[in-house]
Amino acid sequence: MEGNVSVKVNHVYKSYKNPERGGINIEVLHDICFEVKEGEKVGIIGRNGAGKSTLLNILCQYAKEDKGSICIEGKVNSILDIGSNLQQELTGKENVRQTGKLYGYDHDRLEKILLEVEEFVDIGDYWTRPIKTYSSGMKARIAFAQIAFIQPEILIIDEVLGVGDYQFVEKSKNKIQELCSKGKILFMVSHSLDSIKRITNRCIWIEKGKIILDGITENVVKAYEEFVNDFERKKIWENERNYIEKELINDRNKMTYIKSLCISNGRTKENTFISGEDLYLEIDIKLNDLCGKHNLKLRIEDYKGNIYLENNYLEDSGNYLEENGKMELKMSTVIKNMNYTESIYTLSLILSNNENIVDCKERVFRIIDYKKEYYSFPLGYTTSIWDIIFKGEHIKNEHIWSNSRSI
Amino acid sequence: MNIFGATLEVYKLFLLNLRNRYLGSRIGILWSVIQPLLMMVIYIFIFGIILRLKVEGSDSSFDYVIWFICGFTPWLAINEGIMATANSIISGINLVKNFSIKSEFLPIASSMMGLPQMFVGIVVICILSFISGRYLSWHIFWLIVIIPLMFFFIMGLGFFLSALTVFVRDMIQIIPTFLQLLFYLTPIFYGAEKFSGNMFILVFLNPFYQICNMFRQILFYQVNPDFSGLAYLIVISTVLWISGLIFFRKLKGFFESVL
């Protein structure tokens, strides 16, 4: 079988029983199917618990698949749990030597490689001291140094980088690259997309045990990155939604000046809007015994805290709220053609008295941009954003306040 | 992988295990000499000096000592081997993960961990036999057959125990207790003549007795080993080995889910 190295994975399934949940089967891999030819260096990416490590375990036949088959031509070398074989009582040198012996190196070659490794790990006197005296960084170096012995045909590595100081990580990345160039097939799991990009030429993205994407590393990594960012947003959105619901309950109990702040697109009461829609804001304020000048501020910011809109409504018009008695203020406004980037935003109405916040109400909403055609900048990115959104001609945005006062 | 490659791999593992067995202790591998010697001294003190047990047909305490050590030597190797092999997967799984070593090799290599103890025992027997004037006959060469057969038997048992221990960790606690019990139930410090009829059949079926008995026949009585016993041992070892391997292969795909 000389020179004919290949890996075939046919419809592989794997599930585990979870004893804590009454023995329910949890599917870890679902219908995994791919073929790898000689010369391909495959990165496997996915979030934690996606099934990457299980796939590697199955590839090196450490775990058995439930269904499906795996066909491997060539000698497999795997590093799934780097450093776990280090003996605390032995010195670094002896540990590395022991590894070499396990790989079947004879004495002369072993001594030669030991010198190379000593230089590579660069830990001075500690080289001949027991591992138990090492710092974690030094242990990582010794653990990594063991890969020097591998002469890979099919190499399977799981997260070997990542520990150690920056300088060593760089060094070890080079080493891995050198090693991988010698091998015929590589499988690599790493959370470092940077090293995936550097080392692999093909990439498989797994999510919840299924292959989402399989192709050229660059494309897959890009798609994955987008997904992860998007996912973060969704998670924040979920949190925010819980937060909204909590807020709504609190609203009823609190004695507030701002009675309500509503945002809608005129159709539904959902908090999700489509970019480009008109948004209607309704504000209802009731002031009792307020003294002094009060200001009302309307602000829209995204979940990262970038401010997209800030309207000092009363300050700008020079028309402060200045009442001692009772006052009710009802306002409604339309933000026409709200063309924001897809994200999660917070709309807040802040009633303040000389920069002290008297009352504040927040509403969280989401903008979805199906066509991905809008891109909005937060305030401060360019000074004229304010103008663009409210006064400018570039984007047709009309901002009309209509209010009714009654005392 | 051919037989030669597999043997080499097992040999490497065996050396590694042996090196790491007494890691961290001052005198290291010397323990595998001192430990069996100490055990022998303790048991001889109890059975030979306090209880004054004698070998049938001989009045000499010295004869009893040799007779006892002949049976005790394989027991030392069995004891050590079973303990090591039961633990072998748990302690050696990192080798499987990082060096692509087949997991079957772990119990195989560990089952021979009793080899140094056994070697020490045989040396002691030779010395004592020389002192007592009962020189060993050519029957000692039967060891070439018996010792591999013994390890073959431990391996078969080891396949079951090692795979089971991964999922039932309690085995690590159960096994030493069970071995202790087995030591007293098996005619090792007393003769099998004490049993007759149905009881003797039970003793005969005990493979541990068969191993110890054969060592005695070869080294103490200097006769050929009991062929019915030998045949029985070969059959039971083979059955155990094959069924153990099947059992092991069934379970090994699930090791990863608990380790």
Tally C-beta pairs within 8 A across A and B.
Answer: 60
In this prediction, residue A326 carries a pLDDT of 59
In this prediction, residue A313 carries a pLDDT of 61
In this prediction, residue A250 carries a pLDDT of 47
Q: Which amino acid is at A308?
A: Y
Q: Which amino acid is at A197?
A: K
In this prediction, residue A277 carries a pLDDT of 76
**Residue B9 and residue B105: Cα distance in Å, rounded?**
8
In this prediction, residue A288 carries a pLDDT of 62
CB-nearest to B100 from A77, A84, A90 is A77
In this prediction, residue A384 carries a pLDDT of 33
In this prediction, residue B248 carries a pLDDT of 93
Are B98 and A101 in contact (CB < 8 Å)? no
Residues of A in contact with B97 (CB under 8 A): 62, 78-81, 84
**Beta carbons of B215 and B222 less than 8 angstroms apart:** no
CA angle centred on B113, ends B110 and B116, rounded to 5°: 165
Q: Is B101 on the interface with A (CB under 8 A)?
A: yes
Strand A210-216 relative to strand A327-335, pairing: unpaired
In this prediction, residue A68 carries a pLDDT of 87
Nearest C-alpha of chain B: how many angstroms from A88? 9
Over residues A190-219, the mean pLDDT reads 84
Q: Please enumerate residues of A whose Cβ is less than 8 A from a Cβ of B.
A: 16, 54, 57, 60, 62-65, 76-82, 84-85, 87-90, 98-99, 101-104, 146
| CA distances for B82 relative to B109, B134, B184, angstroms | 11, 32, 17
Which tokens go with B177? Answer: 């207790």
Per the model's pLDDT, the better-predicted residue between A88 and A181 turns out to be A88
In this prediction, residue A400 carries a pLDDT of 36
- Helix spans in B133-226 (H): 143-167, 171-185, 198-205, 207-219
Over residues A233-258, the mean pLDDT reads 58
Least confident range of A26-30, A54-58, A299-303: A299-303
Nearest C-alpha of chain B: how many angstroms from A105? 11
Over residues A352-357, the mean pLDDT reads 70
In this prediction, residue A377 carries a pLDDT of 53
Residues of B in contact with A67 (CB under 8 A): none
Per the model's pLDDT, the better-predicted residue between A77 and B164 turns out to be B164
**Beta carbons of A239 and A305 less than 8 angstroms apart:** no
Least confident range of A227-236, A395-404, B48-57, B102-111: A395-404
Q: What is the mean pLDDT of chain B?
A: 88
Q: What is the mean pLDDT of chain A?
A: 73
Are A98 and B19 in contact (CB < 8 Å)? yes
Q: Return phi, psi of residue A20, to 5°.
A: -75, -20
Q: Encode chain A in three state secondary structure.
A: CCCCCEEEEEEEEEEEEEHHHCCEEEEEEEEEEEEECCCCEEEEECCCCCCHHHHHHHHCCCCCCCEEEEEEECCEEEECCCCCCCCCCCEHHHHHHHHHHHCCCCHHHHHHHHHHHHHHHCCHHHHHCEHHHCCHHHHHHHHHHHHHHCCCCEEEEECCCCCCCHHHHHHHHHHHHHHHHHCCEEEEECCCHHHHHHHCCEEEEEECCEEEEEEEHHHHHHHHHHHHHHHHHHHHHHHHHHHHHHHHHHHHHCCCCEEEEEEECCCCCCCEEECCCCEEEEEEEEECCCCCCEEEEEEEEECCCCEEEEEEHHHHCCCCECCCCCEEEEEEEEECCCCCCCEEEEEEEEEEECCEEEEEEEEEEEEECCCCCCCCCCECCECCHHHHHHCCCCCCCCEEEEEEEEC
Please give the residue range of the domain that contains residue B75. 3-258
Over residues A191-213, the mean pLDDT reads 83
Please classify residue B217 by burial: count the beta carbons closer than 10 Å to its beta carbon, then call 0-12 exposed, 13-18 middle and 19+ buried: buried
pLDDT at A34 over 50: yes
Alpha carbon B159 to chain centroid, angstroms: 15
Are B103 and A98 in contact (CB < 8 Å)? no
**Residue B99, number of CB atoms within 10 A of its CB:** 21
DSSP per residue, B48-93:
IIIS----TT---HHHHHHHHHHHHHHHHHHHHHHHHHHHHHHHHH
Over residues B113-131, the mean pLDDT reads 90
Over residues B205-228, the mean pLDDT reads 90
Nearest C-alpha of chain A: how many angstroms from B248? 13
pLDDT at A386 over 50: no
Are A101 and B103 in contact (CB < 8 Å)? no
Q: Is B45 on the interface with A (CB under 8 A)?
A: no
Over residues A7-11, the mean pLDDT reads 88
Q: Which amino acid is at B63?
A: D
Are A85 and B94 in contact (CB < 8 Å)? yes
In this prediction, residue A321 carries a pLDDT of 55
In this prediction, residue A404 carries a pLDDT of 34
Pick the residue from chain A with its C-alpha nearest to B257.
A16
**Residue A127 and residue A92: Cα distance in Å, rounded?**
5
Q: Which amino acid is at B99?
A: F
CB-nearest to A64 from B15, B97, B253 is B253
Sheet holding A76-79, edge to edge: A76-79, A154-158, A185-189, A41-45, A202-207, A210-216
Are A63 and B23 in contact (CB < 8 Å)? no
Are B16 and A84 in contact (CB < 8 Å)? no
Please classify residue A101 by burial: count the beta carbons closer than 10 Å to its beta carbon, then call 0-12 exposed, 13-18 middle and 19+ buried: middle
pLDDT band at A254 (very low <50, low <70, confident <90, very high): very low
Residues of B in contact with A99 (CB under 8 A): 99
In this prediction, residue A332 carries a pLDDT of 72
Residues of B in contact with A148 (CB under 8 A): none
Report the number of distinct structural domains present in chain B.
Answer: 1
**Residue A394, number of CB atoms within 10 A of its CB:** 9
Q: What is the pTM of this model?
A: 0.69
**Beta carbons of A265 and A280 less than 8 angstroms apart:** yes
pLDDT band at B235 (very low <50, low <70, confident <90, very high): very high
pLDDT at A220 over 90: no
Q: Which amino acid is at A15?
A: S
Pick the residue from chain A with its C-alpha nearest to B95.
A85
In this prediction, residue B236 carries a pLDDT of 95
Q: Return phi, psi of residue A283, to 5°.
A: -130, 135
Over residues A42-71, the mean pLDDT reads 84
Q: Return phi, psi of residue B194, to 5°.
A: -60, -20
Least confident range of A350-359, B7-16, B205-214: A350-359
**Beta carbons of B157 and B244 less than 8 angstroms apart:** yes
Residues of A in contact with B19 (CB under 8 A): 98
Which tokens go with A35? Answer: 């073929």
In this prediction, residue A385 carries a pLDDT of 34
Are B24 and A89 in contact (CB < 8 Å)? yes
Least confident range of A78-87, B65-74, B187-196, B208-217: A78-87
Strand A24-36 relative to strand A6-18, pairing: antiparallel
pLDDT digits (tens, 9 = 90+) for B134-187: 777 888 899 999 999 999 999 999 999 999 999 999 999 999 999 999 999 898
Sign of CA dihedral A323, A324, A328, A334: positive
Q: Is B8 on the interface with A (CB under 8 A)?
A: yes
Are A81 and B8 in contact (CB < 8 Å)? no
Are B98 and A16 in contact (CB < 8 Å)? no
Highest mean predicted confidence (pLDDT) among A15-19, B5-9, B171-175 = B171-175
**Beta carbons of A367 and A343 less than 8 angstroms apart:** yes
Are B98 and A90 in contact (CB < 8 Å)? no
In this prediction, residue A388 carries a pLDDT of 35
Are A84 and B23 in contact (CB < 8 Å)? no
Locate tokens 């032995």: which residue? A90
Contacts of B143 (CB under 8 A, 6+ apart): B122, B218
Asked whether the ipTM of the predicted complex exceeds the cut of 0.85, the reply is no
Highest mean predicted confidence (pLDDT) among A108-122, A181-195, A330-344, A360-374 = A108-122
In this prediction, residue B182 carries a pLDDT of 93
Q: Return phi, psi of residue A311, to 5°.
A: -125, 105
